[in-house]
Amino acid sequence: DVKVTQSSRYLVKRTGEKVFLECVQDMDHENMFWYRQDPGLGLRLIYFSYDVKMKEKGDIPEGYSVSREKKERFSLILESASTNQTSMYLCASSFSPGGNEKLFFGSGTQLSVL
Amino acid sequence: GQNIDQPTEMTATEGAIVQINCTYQTSGFNGLFWYQQHAGEAPTFLSYNVLDGLEEKGRFSSFLSRSKGYSYLLLKELQMKDSASYLCAVRVKGYSTLTFGKGTMLLVSP
């Protein structure tokens, strides 16, 4: 089975801190994604990556950056955490190219920014 | 951009059948996915439709009409464990990303 592992299940940070969320997948997938999930808003795409060192902005990239130095690892970075970034963060990966490119999700990181 | 609509909440009784609808407006449609998400857990893949018609997989079926921008997920013989949020997601041609609806919370009662 595909495994997508997120480093932390729960995280509490202070406003202004730099926050790193780590995600690792073990299926050699080309594509990796970061979503955030908020009540009433659903899943929204922050950033994604098609390959090592490549990144693309999603629908809500403001306040975030990403890093993909190795194929299996995709990091989400909050340069200066703010309270409105309190959310559930979900990492996902998928195989490329085309067809039934279903996403495999990690268990999520619930981030609270105080 | 894309617009995806699905009901916020639905309730049903154990053993019954429930249909969760999803309508979408998008350019360059290239597939519709349904995911199930239990509280506190990751979404898991249920079904994929890219052509019109019904895809059946055990107790779950998914239907797509591209001309109407409409899909539904049909759950038969409901069980308590089917209580979850059901997410409709659309893929656009040329992209591997999925855009998700806000999800439908299904509550199955005894």
The pLDDT assigned to B44 comes to 94
Q: Using the beta-carbon criterion (under 8 Å), do A50 and B91 form an inter-chain contact?
A: no
Q: Rounded to a whole number, what is the distance in Å from the CA of A71 to chain B's nearest CA?
A: 16
Closest by Cβ to A42, choosing from B44, B91, B103: B103
Across chain B, what does the average pLDDT equal?
Answer: 94
A102 interaction partners in chain B (CB closer than 8 Å) = 33, 45, 48
**Tens digits of residue pLDDT in A56-94:** 999 999 999 999 999 999 999 999 999 999 999 999 999
pLDDT at res. B29: 87
Q: Give me the percent of chain B exceeding a pLDDT of 90.
A: 84
**Among all residues of chain B, which has the CA nearest to that of A38?**
B102
- For the beta sheet containing B70-75, the strands, ordered from the edge strand earlier in sequence to the opposite edge, are B3-5, B18-25, B70-75, B60-65, B53-57
Cβ-defined contact of A100 to B48 (cutoff 8 Å):
yes
pLDDT tens for B77-101 read: 999 999 999 999 998 877 778 899 9
**Residue B28 pLDDT:** 83
Residue A95: what pLDDT?
84
- Does the pLDDT value for residue A99 go beyond 80? no
* Phi and psi, residue B95, nearest 5°: -130, 150
Give the whole-angstrom CA distance, residue B75 versus residue B78. Answer: 6
Looking at every residue in chain A, the average pLDDT score rounds to: 93
Two structure tokens written together for A84: 């409105």
Residue B30 has a pLDDT of 87
pLDDT at A68: 97
Amino acid letter, residue A79: E
